[in-house]
A and B are shown apart, each in its own frame.
Chain A
Amino acid sequence: MDIPYTVEIRRDTGLINGKIGIWLFLASEVMLFGALFASYILIRTGAPSWPRGATMLNVPLATFNTIVLISSSVTMVMAWASLKRGRFGTFRIYMGGTILLGLVFLIVKYFEYSAHFHEGAYPSTSNFLALYFTLTGLHMLHVFGGMMVNAYFWGPGSKLWKTNPEWFTNRVEHSGLFWHFVDLVWIFLFPTLYLL
């Protein structure tokens, strides 16, 4: 049996099911990160003193990573736009670029984490570092998850383009929404942890 409303729009919602599904999922993600941000505010305002992120973290590397993630968001939306124009080859170039930029982000984070561990800075060291590792660690997991989904659509999942291009385009759009959300979270994490 075919999955209903993957391409055709439901009359009652005015949307395809996948679109509603991804937005409901993102709503739950907002609450997940919201809870952690609320914890950050509570712990920071209750602390007698709090270090400025720049004194403990590598701001130039994080700035570079911000540029990388923003660029990946743009390549992601360009991948979707390429499918809308019927250009599958261009889609693969942009999607490949998105996956590579995600990989660059994770490699940079690996070097950042390695430097912290080398200096003896662990989550147990201070409240600031506990929040830093929790928030950035969870964010990294999201980047990794997004990369896996994008890699599937770049590789084996792209077979759908031959049989049902519109459905494939919609799937890429939904994957893109998640990827942009990951970028959006980083846009707030960067100043909160590194600059303030």
Chain B
Amino acid sequence: MTSDHSAADIDRHVRVYITVFVALMALTLITVTISYLHLPLPIAVTVALLVATVKGSLVACYLMHLISEKKLIYAVLGLTAVFFVVLLALPVVTVNDGYWIR
């Protein structure tokens, strides 16, 4: 977030923070409730990670103010995201004794 904020801006932000807080609480309860339904693992993983991604996005966008950041921060995070995806994909290419990279 840039440093030039008026009092009215801050009041608006505070209302957003409270809304995000309520949304995060609701999503936490949804995650836990779904876990008690004992869904098949692939569905459970998909739903749990989907809800976690929504929650993470709310924290990043509104509490960390990423929704109104400068381009340089987006560039840094974009590069990080690329390396992060590669890192997570590494286990995938090792499946079947490295079939995908042979």
Contacts and interface: CB of A to CB of B under 8 A. Distances in A.
A45 interface: yes
A35 interface: yes
Interface string B1-14: 11101010010011
Given A67-B28, A196-B41, A188 B88 contact: no
Contacts of B32: 59, 63, 195
A183 B24 CA distance: 11
A71 interface: yes
List the 8 closest A-B pairs by CB distance, nearest first: A42-B91, A191-B48, A195-B35, A27-B80, A74-B21, A34-B87, A41-B91, A14-B70
Nearest to B89: A38
Interface residues of A, number: 53
A74 B88 contact: no
A184 B56 CA distance: 6
Give the interface size bracket for B toward A.
Answer: 35 or more
Contact of B63 (A7, A16, A74): A74
B70 A15 contact: yes
Interface of B: 1-3, 5, 7, 10, 13-14, 17-18, 20-21, 24-25, 28, 31-32, 35, 41, 44-45, 48-49, 51-52, 55-56, 59-60, 63-64, 70-73, 76-77, 79-80, 83-84, 87-88, 90-91, 94-95
Contacts of A38: 87-88, 90-91
Interface stretch (A78-86, A124-132, A141-149, A151-159): A78-86
19 contacts: A7-B3, A13-B72, A14-B72, A15-B70, A15-B72, A15-B73, A23-B76, A27-B76, A31-B83, A38-B91, A45-B95, A63-B28, A74-B63, A180-B63, A180-B64, A187-B59, A190-B52, A191-B31, A191-B35
